[in-house]
A and B are shown apart, each in its own frame.
Chain A
Amino acid sequence: MSDRKSGGRFVRKVADKVRRTPEAPEDDLWESVQLARHAERPYTLDYINRLCSEFEEMHGDRLYGDDAALVAGFGRFHDRPVAFIGQQKGRDTNERTYRNFGMAGPEGYRKAMRVMEIANRLGIPVVTLIDTPGAFPGASAEERGQGGAISRSIQMMWRLDVPTVAVVIGEGSSGGALGLGVADRVLMLENSTYSVISPEGASAILWRDASKARQAAQAFKPTAANCYRWGVVDAVVPEPEGGAHTDHEQAAEILDQYLYRALTELSSIPAADRRRARRERFRKLGPLRDPEGGMGMAAGRETPPPG
């Protein structure tokens, strides 16, 4: 697209900067966490509305209700249909409550699955945008099968025949994030975080002290650069100087190019090969201690960084 050419030059410039980030000191991990949650950071719909010329949001899981914490629908992206699914945070108090702070319940994941199923049937690629402190911890969510909704969403994403891209755009915490995270390509915005649990949750559980979140962030190292090194994500998407919150337009433009490239690449691969690669991608994650070697030792791109 000709009007995006200037963005291409910019991407290369920022990409150079990002490639240097892994070597940067890691004493500012708490700052990364804060940046990933910045109140002015673009949220899922901010991206969707900029990425798509048209977007039609779908509502409801056809079983129980509609979950405003997760948006799903179909849009025109580079004049082709693409399904977009992502957790949605709110910007002011009312909207935050309405969006349940981006913490989806089982209805959210079931709505996501419903849209994925349609996309798969119609041969439409699926893009997910991850931005959540975790799935909603509530009694009603448990009663309606929060665990099974997340596991089935993971299962459905793995089973899709169409090309899939997942992007961590802000905060990616816990199974609630992974519920939308099983894709052919997993991208992560430069200042986003991706972790097994929020630093606050870890602080309460591992340190038995709610005030140790900063320390927890330090221990988890949940930055994009580290996730790239571990092989958890395939590329780090650069953000505008100062962070995505300073310029939503440009942040969306950069993401647009990464998505376009990923979907173009993936579309040329036969579905069976894509699925095999998707399986292998996740199968190899998680290093083992193994004195004998050669036992399906899983490794990231390099030896993970020392603390």
Chain B
Amino acid sequence: MSVDRLRQLAHRDARPRKIKADAGTCPKCDSHYSADEMQRNLRVCPACGHHFPVTARERMEQLGEPGGYVELWPELRAADPLQFTDLKPYAERIADAEKSTGMGEAIVCAELEVRHQPAVAAVMDFTFMGCSMGAVVGEKFARACDYAAQKGLPLIVVAASGGARMQEGTLALMQMAKTVIALDALAEARVPVVVVLAHPTTGGVWASFASLGDVTYAEPGALIAFSGPRVIEETTREVLPEDFGRAEAQLRNGQVDDVVDRRELAERIGKVLHILRRPEMEGNGSTASPALQWAQGGAQKVKSMVGRIRPGSTDGEDA
């Protein structure tokens, strides 16, 4: 599909959305909040710091600049290749989820700016069938990778998922391969991938694109695991520590780069994208490596700095 067609599709859904914020009680400390307070505080309890779930669209608003974001491919919908029925037909589950969330699927992709850093974001929404990954999530994620690569923009992924969507059977499993392969378009375009792990990121999503970020942040308290604690306890009869698989434990385990409070998340993403930003990303979209750029740009600078730096050195230690 051409970029123009993508843009066309993107702009078709560029209308702003109103976010509904619910009043609530913190499950950790029992504090009560009004809907407004909740939204203003990015759905983090001001008293104890407990992180509440955030819908994908609200997350986009939290990360993006005022003026919002441009949603991509909102029209994609799930099929029912297996005519699957568990306690309820899959087709019915999908229809219910579409109705109750007002979303077409469990992932929202958009182009936005995070603290003045243009990026493409793929944000998962746990309210839509536990944000399980079926063909639509896989396809939208893969398109987001291609789109970001074509435009030379970094990709921000906010993951939150129960894993593969079982109702799509073996084809859901294949989305793990599809998403991992798609990520390499970004590698070829030399743009970074920042992954944010929200509660919970488990199963096939953790075992595919969510664990392949160049920079990986986790929200406080987020469960990050391939197998959830219940499955592990039932299979191995292990007694698990209370913080098993939680963001803080996974930081200790070396599985994430940092645990970042949601109220600082946009700032941190903006900062790391700014650091990783190449000079040519401002302009011609060339994919020359930063190392090469550094060598070329550095040569000029070194000349002008002769006398301050030892001859032959290209370290540019004061750059």
Which one of B63-71, B113-121, B234-242, B276-284 is at the A interface? B234-242
Q: Is A78 an interface residue (CB 8 A)?
A: no
Closest to A155 in B: B180
A175 and B245 within 8 A (CB): no
Q: Is B244 an interface residue (CB 8 A)?
A: yes
Interface of chain A residues 142 through 185 with chain B (CB within 8 A): 142-148, 150-152, 154-155, 158-159, 174-175, 177-179, 181-182
A146 and B136 within 8 A (CB): no
Q: Is B125 an interface residue (CB 8 A)?
A: no
Q: Is B149 an interface residue (CB 8 A)?
A: no
Q: Is A266 an interface residue (CB 8 A)?
A: no
B1 CB contacts on chain A under 8 angstroms: 295-296
Which one of A7-15, A49-57, A80-88, A192-200 is at the B interface? A192-200
A206 CB contacts on chain B under 8 angstroms: 86-87, 166-167
B77 and A288 within 8 A (CB): yes
B271 CB contacts on chain A under 8 angstroms: none
B171 contact from A150, A155, A208, A230, Cβ within 8 A: A230
Q: Is A269 an interface residue (CB 8 A)?
A: no
Q: Is A220 an interface residue (CB 8 A)?
A: yes
Given A142-B225, A196-B166, A296-B139, residue A232 in contact with residue B84 (CB < 8 A):
no
B166 and A151 within 8 A (CB): no
B173 and A178 within 8 A (CB): yes
Closest to A138 in B: B236
CB of A211, distance to nearest CB on chain B (Å): 14
Q: Is B48 an interface residue (CB 8 A)?
A: no
B139 contact from A135, A137, A298, Cβ within 8 A: A298
Q: Is A285 an interface residue (CB 8 A)?
A: yes
A226 CB contacts on chain B under 8 angstroms: 170
Q: Is A122 an interface residue (CB 8 A)?
A: no
B82 contact from A151, A177, A204, A220, Cβ within 8 A: A220
Give the tally of cross-chain contacts (CB within 8 A): 212
B76 and A290 within 8 A (CB): yes
CB of A82, distance to nearest CB on chain B (Å): 22
Central interface residue in A174, A195, A196, A290, by most chain B CB within 10 Å: A196
B83 CB contacts on chain A under 8 angstroms: 304, 306-307
A220 CB contacts on chain B under 8 angstroms: 82, 166, 169-170
Given A154-B180, A219-B82, residue A138 in contact with residue B238 (CB < 8 A):
yes
B174 and A232 within 8 A (CB): yes
Interface of chain A residues 208 through 227 with chain B (CB within 8 A): 208, 216, 219-222, 226-227
CB of B281, distance to nearest CB on chain A (Å): 24
When chains A and B are docked, how far (Å) is the Cα of A174 from the Cα of B203? 9
B160 CB contacts on chain A under 8 angstroms: none
Q: Is B200 an interface residue (CB 8 A)?
A: no
Closest to A103 in B: B235
When chains A and B are docked, how far (Å) is the Cα of A145 from the Cα of B211? 9
CB of B94, distance to nearest CB on chain A (Å): 9
Given A137-B227, A147-B211, A288-B135, residue A283 in contact with residue B173 (CB < 8 A):
no
CB of A61, distance to nearest CB on chain B (Å): 15
B169 and A286 within 8 A (CB): no
Closest to B224 in A: A147
B39 CB contacts on chain A under 8 angstroms: none
Given A286-B139, A298-B139, residue A137 in contact with residue B232 (CB < 8 A):
yes
Q: Is B46 an interface residue (CB 8 A)?
A: no
Given A142-B226, A304-B82, residue A159 in contact with residue B184 (CB < 8 A):
yes
Closest to A201 in B: B231
Given A135-B226, A142-B245, residue A289 in contact with residue B77 (CB < 8 A):
yes
Central interface residue in A138, A175, A201, A219, by most chain B CB within 10 Å: A175
- Cβ proximity bits B234-261 to A, threshold 8 Å, 1 near / 0 not: 1110101000110001000111000000
Central interface residue in B142, B171, B204, B234, by most chain A CB within 10 Å: B171
When chains A and B are docked, how far (Å) is the Cα of A178 from the Cα of B169? 13
B142 and A283 within 8 A (CB): yes
A151 and B231 within 8 A (CB): no
When chains A and B are docked, how far (Å) is the Cα of A159 from the Cα of B164? 23
Interface of chain B residues 191 through 224 with chain A (CB within 8 A): 203-204, 206-212, 224
CB of B166, distance to nearest CB on chain A (Å): 6
Given A151-B208, A154-B208, A287-B171, residue A139 in contact with residue B86 (CB < 8 A):
no
A151 CB contacts on chain B under 8 angstroms: 176, 180, 206-212
When chains A and B are docked, how far (Å) is the Cα of A223 from the Cα of B254? 39
B78 CB contacts on chain A under 8 angstroms: 288-289
A158 and B180 within 8 A (CB): yes
B166 contact from A205, A221, A300, Cβ within 8 A: A205
A260 CB contacts on chain B under 8 angstroms: none
Q: Is A92 an interface residue (CB 8 A)?
A: no
Q: Is B168 an interface residue (CB 8 A)?
A: yes
Q: Is B178 an interface residue (CB 8 A)?
A: yes
Q: Is A273 an interface residue (CB 8 A)?
A: no
A174 CB contacts on chain B under 8 angstroms: 164, 173, 204
A141 CB contacts on chain B under 8 angstroms: 226-227
B177 contact from A137, A158, A207, A287, Cβ within 8 A: A158
9 A-B residue pairs with CB within 8 Å: A137-B235, A148-B255, A152-B212, A155-B180, A155-B181, A155-B183, A204-B234, A219-B84, A222-B170
Binding site for A on B (CB under 8 A): 1, 75-87, 134-136, 138-139, 142-143, 164-178, 180-184, 203-204, 206-212, 224-227, 231-232, 234-236, 238, 240, 244-245, 249, 253-255
Closest 9 pairs (CB-CB, A-B): A286-B135, A137-B227, A147-B206, A307-B83, A206-B86, A148-B211, A150-B207, A175-B207, A285-B174
